[in-house]
A = this chain, B = another copy of it.
């Protein structure tokens, strides 16, 4: 049976980017459907009735929801090419720990760099640098979090790198000055074909964030 893969997504989503990168790494063809989040498609509501959120991967009519769960699903089903999780259980647990760390910390702190002002914004900026410094320490001198080749931690973090320009510009601070290794890592990722063809342009993300700020009365 031919595999039918549909991805319900929204282009600037760091969560959707994870899935797009995982699919690209595995060399899988899929139909991409960009959702209007203010008017969600009947398919999205049907396929993710609990959270009603993107990304959703529809594989032969059955849905998988939540970005990290989708990435693990892709890695398990198409396990022959470009493994994203290590095969050793202990190494797997450590990779999952860092993905979970990114999920628990980075989205919220990042959002506050452009959604807030004054003291709240200063706190968010400090937090994001602290979080990235912890990740930098974890990266060490390896080219990727996965070691010589990329793994699930790289896939999970890279979506944020397209937002760095918006965080920095709207928060008036420099991630690169504080965390040069993270910037070096993001550049190495961007040089890979699966990433360069998938990642949205930072300036386009910035424009999107500015629109959101206008709608919230922040600009």
Q: Which residues of A contact B (CB under 8 A)?
A: 50, 59, 62, 64-66, 69-70, 72-73, 76-77, 89-90, 92-93, 96-97, 100-101, 134
A62 to B91: give the CA distance in the assembly, Å. Answer: 11
- In contact, B100 and A69 (Cβ under 8 angstroms): yes
Residues of B within 8 A of A100 (CB): 66, 69
Residues of B within 8 A of A73 (CB): 89-90, 92-93
**Ordered nearest first, which 10 A-B pairs have the shortest CB separation?**
A76-B89, A73-B93, A64-B93, A69-B96, A77-B89, A69-B93, A66-B100, A73-B89, A69-B97, A65-B97
A198 to B63: give the CA distance in the assembly, Å. Answer: 35
Chain B residue nearest to A79 in the complex (CB): B89
- In contact, B50 and A134 (Cβ under 8 angstroms): yes
Closest-CB distance, A199 to chain B (whole angstroms): 25
Copies of chain A in the complex: 2
Closest-CB distance, A24 to chain B (whole angstroms): 19
- Known A69-B96, A69-B100, A97-B69; contact A64-B90, beta-carbon cutoff 8 A: yes
Residues of B within 8 A of A69 (CB): 93, 96-97, 100
- In contact, A90 and B62 (Cβ under 8 angstroms): yes
Q: Tell me which of A62, A73, A92, A97 has the highest count of chain B C-beta atoms within 10 A of its own C-beta.
A: A97
Closest-CB distance, A45 to chain B (whole angstroms): 15
Closest-CB distance, A57 to chain B (whole angstroms): 9
A77 to B77: give the CA distance in the assembly, Å. Answer: 21
